Structure 1
Amino acid sequence: MADIESMFHQVRVPDEDADLLRFLWWPGGNLNEPVEEYRMCVHLFGATSSPSCASYALRRTAQDAATTTSPEAAETILKNFYVDDCLKSVATEEEAVHLVKELTKLCASGGFHLTKWVSNSRALLCSIPGNERAAEVKDLDLQQDELPVERALGVQWCTNSDSFKFGIQLPDKPCTRRGILSVVSSVYNPMGFLAPLLLPVKLILRNLCKDKTGWDEEIPQKPQQTWKKWLADLDKLSELSVSRCFKSSSFGLTKVAQIHHFSDASQDGYGVVSYLLLTNEQEQKHICFLMGKSRVAPLKQVTIPRMELTAAMVSVKVDRVLKEELQVPLTHSIFWTDSTTVLRYIENEALRFKTFVANRVSFIREATTRAQWKYVNTSQNPADQASRGLKIESFMSSDNWFQGPSFLSEPDDWPEQPEQSTYLSESDEEVKTSAAVSCMNPVVDNTDPVNQLVEYYSSWYRLKKATAWILRLKEILQHLREKRKELESAVKESEHDTGKHKPMVEEQMNICKKNLEKRMLTVKELSRAEMELIKYSQRQTYAEEIKALQQGNKSVKRTSPIFKLDPCLLNRSAMPEEAKHPVLLSKQHRVAYLILHHTHLETGCGGRNLVLARL
């Protein structure tokens, strides 16, 4: 582990942006002296932009030097840095010594000084100058002194034993909802080592929320006793130790690596725990803990099968994360659950499910195959601890959470799978029931042509355009009819032989037609089409209201959905007509949907308020 010294200050701010970092300064801190104005030329601590800018500069350094440095060093910067902290593990001390030299050289090429080195290898620390080591190891006798306990991204790392420790120092907070939440949030548990221990406290918070206990009210006696007992027992965690390495050096080269996920749910919550199963060249097996998760059940009551399915979905999400982060060749993962109902849901292909189950089954089936899912008895399922929670005494005395079930190392002893697991009854409450519809008379298609036009288009603009062309055609036909009548009437008045003048009539008609067809659609025509579509929508949805207003009634019926809008009210303000009398549209009509969808896209999906304002 190492740290970049004053990382933000190694990255300069562009001159055109430096004015944004101006500040005032009184020389010597004397407020009586004239104030001086300065500006920062490098990124400063506390600015929101500093971490991303500094990280970009570091990554760009690795990319620019990719051809002149070792691939391991460049990959370390790209994948093993968290802002200014570097955490990297290699197989041998020789590789580590070489990597430190390459990393130091590579960072220096970008103006970064890599320092504060800590390692579980004494040989590696000896190869690093004393002034470049972390303060805790600078003055140590590396031949005999014990290596210190360091904090790596919030987790205590005992470098001497190369293991994670849990010396938790909790803040002193009042026994209220706010106080409990503050204390629980201060327990940093990114890998889920302590997931079974935190669930009981989360349950206290959930129940207090359910009882609508105030944030600063003193909690009732029973949960208060549970909380104080949990705090008192927390000191016992100082005895807990989890090995940092997935395998010991004596295990040898890994031949096969496979992730096994266990999921479970109860009335209190649901949880997931994942293990890495390693096989070496001698076919020996080794199991190690990867990650655990524990979540409380929602306040709204959910059935156990649904929670079991949700836990299974979480295990699929965890699998994606681990596959992306673990730099190890992996075979297909195995997912274990003690719910035969979940297995039936996943394996079923014949029946349709309700939305909750259908969405989760779809997610699971897209990421996994049916062969990857296995049944495990509840007594052998370590995720049961994450779904029900454990007291600290039980957690400390049991090795099952960190070591995993013993049957994993013996494939011949894997739990026997239940028969007919694919059978799912149509009476299951999550299966959609089909409704039978019968008709006494044959259906006659009386669909309105305008309605067919409206249903055909999925774009408001294309619908307006098509309607405008139809109205144009209607206008042309009406104009031609009138023109024909005028020409024929003129011919009859001048001469009795109309056949002689028939070519002249046709010629005039063609001239008229060409003049009309040359024009492109105008804004006026599009506006007219829009108004006709709106009127059509209103005639379909508010026929009774329109009829009542046309008959001279001052108001529509009280049962009308637009009665409160008082559509007959006239405003004598100096406002445009469309502002005084906004168009009324039914939200159930397709025209209203198309207009709303068009406005939504026009505003760039800008949110409800912007869409409504534009609409």
Structure 2
Amino acid sequence: MVVHLFGAKSSPIVANFALRKTAEENRSKSSVEAVNTVLKNFYVDDCLKSVSTSAQAVALRNNLTKLCASGGFHLTKWASNSRALLASVPESERVADVRDLDLSKDALPAERALGVLWCVNSDVFKFKVNLKEKPVTRRGILSVTSSIYDPLGFLAPVILPSKILMQQLCREKLAWDDDIPEQSAEKWITWLHGLNHLADFSVPRCIKPVDFGVSTSAQLHHFSDASEVGYGVVSYLRLLNADGLTHCAFMMGKSRVAPLKQTTIPRMELTAAVVAVKTDKMLKDELELELNESVFWTDSTTVLRYIDSEGLRFKTFVANRIAIIRESTKPQQWRYINTSMNPADCASRGLTCERFMKNVSWIHGPSFLKEPESKWPETNHDLSTNVDDSEVKHSASVNLVCAVDGTDTVNKLITYYSDWYKLKRAVAWILRFKDMIMQRSNQVTAKNRKVQSCDTNFTAQNCRALTMQDLTRAENEIIKFTQNQRFKEEMSMLQKGNQSVKKNSCLSKMDPIFQDGLLRVGGRLGRSAMPECVKHPIIIPKDSHVTTLLLRD
């Protein structure tokens, strides 16, 4: 083949590589801004770019067209909120809805920008929810909820109630196509009707007002919160101009339902804080702005204590998340905000469409961000970590007792050998000697003549060469002893008739069974026709000397 097939799995990456290669090979022939636009502002075959003035837009469009044409890429379907730019584009190259418009008076239409509805005339993002009728089942609810495309999280508080309802139906273990309970159906229908209010909802596309001027300072503010039903994060960009005026712009919102497995509110607050840190890292990578140090807000004093602590050791869940937070931020960047002022509270609890439309702080941010830093909320709580916190690992005294018992002798025997076969032979002879002693003790009451004849018989019998049965018995006894040393509690439970071991046991995932005095792996293979040793392999400790000998062998 001399061409790439259209629609192959590799098509997007091949097209993207060719486009980027075109830009890199023509760096010297085109403007820096045009090259950077190709490298940073294309998503497959769509380009989205914003510049300060119409003159810059026209110049960039011309340079971009020439640059792409040098690689065989023909740019078309242009749309812009700048009528001057559209006027400089031939009608055949404009997007279809703009070709027949009178640019001097006609309103510009709405377009889709990477799936988001962009009202070009007013330069705002809008939502046009045209939902198809679906059955009131888990499958129908999931289909409708997933069809609302909102990558930046403008509608995060509105969508959360449908996610909570979906989770509740999962908790009730309803099948995908079962009719849902009447009370849940009423909640769903009410939520659907509320979506009609979103027709009047809009968000400015530009993060800076038209007459704001040059920004002298830019700073990201991240708010996180959690509740019994969910947790969420919302991020804003705070801009300051030369006149001292401030503007706060919505950047991204996220809301997630609480896990099915019940967890504590402090843990969920900490999880939300981690999401805020990850969002901050992503926005810093994507925004082409010189940013000041980010600020993180939470209404959880427990989370602030965790982040501020230096010398305490936490349990695994908290320790892992604190490590992520401390790796990317400093404790000084974290601040306290009262719940009533926290806009992330909307994302953690959800809002009806009516309440969402009346809520001002979600899109525009809390009012105090427009004030000087001296007027921002301050923490009036004692952040010294509470030593009684259940997430803190407490020091414990460890006492060592040296006990000497019979197992020490057997351990010496096992560790003496460095070869599995030699160990089995030694144990096999010891077991045969043990059998001889036991038989002799049982014959003490017999007559002397009979004892002598038996002794002669017995001695000859026990001096014969070891058989495969002797070695197999020795192997089982060695493993039985090793298991009893490491898994004594598990063996005791299964011997008493329990069906399983404790959940905190290291063997719980193996579903162990007790068979012929040995611990073996359980599971559904027991119903198969395979050999017993294949269906239920013997369990051995991973760090014992016997295991080492087996691996060597």
TM-score range, shorter chain: 0.7 to 0.9
RMSD, aligned α-carbons: 3.5
What is the alpha-carbon distance in structure 2 between the residues aligned to residue 453 and residue 96 of structure 1?
83
1:235 aligns with: 196
Aligned to 1:500: none
Which one of the candidate residues 136, 154, 157 is aligned to 1:175?
A: 136
AA of the residue aligned to 2:187: T
Match of 1:560 among 503, 518, 530: 518
Question: Matches of residues 152-551 of structure 1 in structure 2 within 5 Å?
Answer: 152-410=113-371, 411-421=373-383, 423-439=384-400, 541-543=479-481
Quick one: which amino acid aligns to residue 248 of structure 1?
P
Secondary structure, aligned partner of 1:343: helix
| Kept in 2: contact 1:148–1:158 (CA 8 A) | yes
| Aligned mates of 2:299, 2:547 — CA distance in 1 | 46
SS in 2 for 1:184: helix
- Name the SS for the 1:561 alignment partner: strand
CA-to-aligned-CA distance 1:413-467 (integer Å, 9 cap, x gap):
111212421x122211111232211246699xx999999999xxxxxxxxxxxx9
| Structure 1 residue 592, shift from structure 2 partner | 8.8
8 Å CA contact 1:259–1:330 kept in 2: the answer is yes
Paired residues for 1:63-142 under 5 Å = 63-142=24-103
Amino acid at match of 2:333: Q
Q: Report the Cα distance in structure 2 between the residues aligned to 1:327 and 1:117, rounded to whole angstroms.
A: 23
SS of alignment partner, residue 327 of structure 2: helix
Question: CA, structure 1 residues 43+427, in 2 after alignment: closer, same or farther (shift >3 Å)?
Answer: same
Per the alignment, in what secondary structure is the counterpart of residue 261 of structure 1?
A: strand
Equivalent of 2:540 in 583, 586, 591: 586
CA distance in 2, matches of 1:149, 1:563: 63
| CA–CA separation in structure 1 for the residues paired with 2:414 and 2:482 | 19
User: Counterparts of 2:96 and 2:169 in 1: how far apart (Å)?
Assistant: 45
Whole-angstrom distance in 2 between the partners of 1:595 and 1:73: 67
Shift of 1:101: 0.5
Structure 2: give runs of 5+ residues left out of the alignment: 420-473, 485-513, 523-530
| Alpha-carbon distance in 1 for matches of 2:74, 2:545 | 64
| Deviation (angstroms), 1:243 | 0.2
Taking structure 2 as the reference length, what is the TM-score of the superposition? 0.77
Mean Cα displacement is larger for which, 137-146 or 582-591? 582-591
Q: Which amino acid in 2 is paired with 1:396?
A: M
Contact 1:199–1:295 at 8 Å: present in 2 too?
A: yes
Residue identity opposite 1:201 in structure 2: S
- Deviations 1:139-198 (Å, cap 9, x if unpaired)? 100000000000111110000000001111111111100001000000001000000000
Q: Per-residue CA shift, 1:247-285, capped at 9, x if unaligned?
A: 112111111100000000000100000000001112211
* Structure 2 residue matching 1:123: 3-state secondary structure: helix
Can you list the C-alpha shifts for 1:537-575, whole angstroms capped at 9, x where unaligned?
9997555799xxxxxxxxx983332599xxxxxxxx9xx
* 1:538–1:585 CA contact under 8 A, matched in 2: no
Name the CA distance, whole Å, in 2 between partners of 1:366 and 1:453: 49
SS in 1 for 2:22: helix
- Is the contact between residue 87 and residue 103 of structure 2 (CA under 8 Å) also seen in structure 1? yes
Structure 2 residue identity aligned to 1:284: L
CA distance in 1, matches of 2:331, 2:546: 44
Scaled by the length of structure 1, what TM-score is found? 0.69
For 2:321 and 2:483, the matched residues in 1 are separated by 46
CA deviation after TM superposition for structure 1 residue 291, in Å: 0.2
One-letter amino acid matched to 2:379: Q
What is the letter of the counterpart of residue 561 of structure 1?
L
Counterparts of 2:180 and 2:339 in 1: how far apart (Å)? Answer: 34
The alpha-carbon distance between structure 1 residues 229 and 543, as it changes in their structure 2 partners (threshold 3 A), is closer
Q: Which amino acid aligns with 1:92?
A: T
Contact 2:164 2:257 in 1 (8 A): yes
Deviation sequence 1:380-432 (CA, Å, 0-9, x none): 000000000001011001111001001112212111212421x1222111112
Kept in 2: contact 1:130–1:138 (CA 8 A): yes
- Give the 3-state SS of the residue equivalent to 1:286 in structure 2: strand
Q: Which consecutive aligned stretches of 4+ in structure 1 deviate over 6 angstroms post-superposition?
A: 446-454, 536-540, 582-585, 591-596
Q: Does residue 58 of structure 1 match 2:19?
A: yes
Return closer, same or farther for 1:585/1:153 CA change in 2, 3 Å cut-off.
Answer: same
Change (3 A) 1:544 1:197: closer
Q: What CA distance in whole angstroms lies between the structure 2 residues aligned with 1:98 and 1:595?
A: 76
Give 3-state SS (helix, strand or coil) of 1:219's partner: coil
Percent of aligned positions with the same letter in both sequences? 53
Cα separation, 2, equivalents of 1:181 and 1:197: 15
Q: Structure 1's 53 and 559: CA in aligned 2 closer, same or farther, altered over 3 A?
A: same
Whole-angstrom CA distance in 2 between matches of 1:365 and 1:309: 12
Length, aligned pairs only: 460
Q: CA deviation at 1:56?
A: 0.9
Distance (whole Å) between structure 1 residues aligned to residue 330 and residue 205 of structure 2 = 32
In the superposition, relative to structure 1, how do residues 246 and 541 fare at CA in structure 2: closer, same or farther (>3 Å)? same
For residues 99-155 of structure 1, the C-alpha deviation after alignment (integer angstroms, 9 at most, x for no partner) is: 000110011011010000000000000011111100000010000000000011111
Paired letter, 1:357: V
Question: In 2, Cα distance between the equivalents of 1:65 and 1:593?
Answer: 64
Distance 1:434 1:105, change over 3 A: same
Of the two structures, which has the highest relative contact order with CA contacts closer than 8 Å and spacing of 6 or more? Answer: 2
Judged with a 3 Å threshold, the aligned counterparts in structure 2 of structure 1 residues 160 and 587 are, in CA distance, closer, same or farther, namely same
Q: Indicate how the Cα distance of structure 1 residues 558 and 51 shifts in structure 2: closer, same or farther if over 3 A, else same.
A: same
Aligned residues of 1:269 and 1:296 also touching (Cα < 8 A) = yes
Are the structure 2 counterparts of residues 305 and 585 from structure 1 closer, same or farther at C-alpha, using a change threshold of 3 Å?
closer
Q: Name the SS for the 2:255 alignment partner.
A: strand
Structure-1 separation of matches of 2:50 and 2:416: 66
Contact 1:585 1:592 in 2 (8 A): no
- Does the residue aligned with 2:263 lie in a helix, a strand or coil? coil
Which stretch shows the higher mean deviation, 130-139 or 64-73? 64-73
Residue matched to 2:424: none
User: For 2:207 and 2:199, how far apart are their aligned partners in 1?
Assistant: 21
